[in-house]
Amino acid sequence: MGVTGSDFRKRVYRLVAQIPAGYVATYGQLAFLAGSPRASRIVGAAMYYAPFSLGLPCHRVVYRDGSLCRNGAFGGEDRQRALLATEGIPFLPDGRVDLCHCLWPGPPEQEEVAAPDSRQG
């Protein structure tokens, strides 16, 4: 199944669920950790359409330069900024997240969310 399939989306959702308060991840970082490094836009779509019932902290996902979501997802840029500020996320003077101080290092055991190893068999 390709990166647009539900398996990839589930891996992304499992990763996002692990991002603790006080940290952010980037779309590209999540794509890489989920096993498809070039799928950052698909990660973005997965965040946009994530079922609210999952309770995912989608507001903790930002662009690679620390910019916030500009398309109204997560309640809009102001809402995303407020949620992150409440969690102690630092911002640069230009309004971007200061990734040097709060970029999530990833899950402790990456193999739990990575794509299946095609060498197994």
Catalytic machinery residues: 58
Residue 22 near residue 40 (C-beta atoms within 8 A): no
Helices (H), the chain: 6-18, 27-33, 40-48, 77-86, 99-102
**Residue carrying structure tokens 């399939």:** 5
Q: Which residues are CB-neighbours of 109 under 8 A, at least 6 positions away? A: none
Closest CA to 24 of 77, 85, 113: 85
